[in-house]
Amino acid sequence: MENILEVKKLSKKYTGFELKNISFELPKGMIMGFIGENGAGKTTTIKSILNIIGNYKGEVKIFGLDNKKNEREIKEDIGVVLDDMFFPEILLPKDINTIMKDVYKNWDSDLYFKYLRDFNLPKDKQIKTYSKGMRKKLEIATALSHHPKLLILDEPTSGLDPIARNEVIDIFQDFIQNEECGVLLSSHITSDLEHIADYITFINDGEIILSKTKDELIEQYGIVKCTESEFKKVDKQDYIKYKKTKYECELLVENKNEFKKKYNVNTIDKISLEDLMVLMVKGEK
């Protein structure tokens, strides 16, 4: 399967924080959910991929091309929504159309105004009159309106109500239907990713701690709930992390079937991405 995005050993040092050898691959036709708590390194990784942040070590290839040597060519085919992105508030949405026609060769005014209509965004009102959710939808409309091949999205559904989020998620799913495009989507709303992501990449404290298909995570990983006395009988190599509550212990296991056989356990709870994040970050080893 051909990759639309490849990140290899990406490293970047700041005072008090470091990205450490970030590596993952996004195949064509797929959506990757990029998860991690605040400050884990998601935005730094995304901005490095986009060359907004420079002086990093490692290699990034987009469409098989080096992102530094072919920056101008690559940017033509990338749609971007960043969490701290903004348009000047005095602009009208129709002004953005005029500006973007000069930025992107493939800018599609008809498509842009269709998104404005679909999102119920008035084209003749200043952006400063828009709510946070409306601004986010405007950013998404702009990102999609030059027919990109890759979407790189940092918290694209933050500030949207559930109906608008579902609408946007449907658009992202439609986007990858031709199997030549891809989406890297960073989000704290893990329930959205459970619906649409094909891959999950989890970053914590500047390091990738897993990058797998969502199906692998949902089918193979699980949570074992047991008493403290039962927990003491479990070998450390048979769980990833554990958490003690007032009444029981919760163990994150990587292979539900093997654990069931070895310990004669009948029930292992399915894992959600939120459970996974909490146990991986806050659990003990």
Residue with tokens 């091949």: 149
- Tokens at residue 147, please? 């027919």
**Do 167 and 109 lie in a common domain?**
yes
Which pLDDT does position 117 carry in this prediction?
A: 96
Shared-domain flag, residues 143 and 202: yes
Q: Does residue 262 sit in the same domain as residue 200?
A: no
Which DSSP string do the residues of 173-214 spell out, in sequence order? Answer: HHHTTTSS-EEEEE-S-HHHHHHH-SEEEEEETTEEEEEEEH
Cα angle for residues 60, 152, 198 (degrees, 5° grid) = 90
Cβ burial 112-137 (10 Å sphere, 16+ → b, else e): bbebbeebebeeeeebeebeebbbbb
Give me the pLDDT at residue 84, please.
Answer: 75
- Residue 41 φ/ψ region, left for φ over 0, alpha for ψ in the -120 to 50 degree band, beta for the rest: left
The arithmetic mean of pLDDT across residues 154-167, rounded, is 90
Instruction: Please give the pLDDT value at position 265.
Output: 87
Residues 81 and 143 in one domain: yes
Q: Where would I find the beta strands (DSSP E) of the chain?
A: 3-14, 17-27, 31-35, 57-62, 65-66, 78-81, 150-154, 182-186, 199-204, 207-213, 222-226, 241-244, 249-253
Indicate whether 209 and 225 sit together in one domain.
Answer: no
Q: Give the end of a domain, one of 213, 242, 274.
A: 213
Helices (H), 93-147: 93-103, 109-118, 132-144
Q: Give the residue from 152, 184, 213 where a domain finishes.
A: 213
Encode pLDDT of 64-75 as tens digits.
Answer: 999 999 988 999
Instruction: Find residue 60's DSSP bridge partners.
Output: 7
Backbone angles phi, psi at 215, to 5 degrees: -60, -40
Do 239 and 192 share a structural domain?
no
The per-residue pLDDT for 86 is 77
Write out pLDDT tens, residues 4-55.
999 999 999 988 899 999 999 999 999 999 999 989 999 999 999 999 988 8
The answer on 266 and 130 residing in a single domain is: no
Domain boundary among 195, 213, 231: 213
pLDDT tens per residue across span 142-154: 999 999 999 999 9
Per-residue pLDDT tens digits for 255-272: 999 999 999 888 899 999
Whether residues 63 and 193 share a domain: the answer is yes
Residues 233 and 159 both lie in one domain: no
Beta-carbon neighbour count of residue 220 at 10 Å?
16
> Environment class of residue 1 by beta-carbon count within 10 Å: exposed (0-12), middle (13-18) or buried (19+)?
exposed
pLDDT for res 159? 83
Burial of 247 (0-12, 13-18, 19+ CB in 10 A): exposed
Rg value, the chain, Cα: 21
Structural domains of the chain, count: 2
Whether 64 and 112 map to the same domain: the answer is: yes
180 and 200 in one domain? yes
pLDDT digits (tens, 9 = 90+) for 81-126: 998 777 899 999 999 999 999 999 999 999 999 999 999 999 999 9
Buried b (16+ CB within 10 A) or exposed e, 185-204: bbbbbbebbbebbbbbbbbb
Give the Cα separation of 22 and 127 in Å (integer): 36
Q: Is residue 242 located within the same domain as residue 202?
A: no
pLDDT tens for 177-214 read 988 999 999 998 898 999 899 999 999 999 999 999 99
Q: How far apart are CA 227 and CA 248, in angstroms?
A: 5
Domain enclosing residue 91, as ranges: 3-213
Give the CATH number for residue 92: 3.40.50.300
Question: Can you give the pTM of this predicted structure?
Answer: 0.93
Q: Which residue has the higher pLDDT, 84 or 130?
A: 130
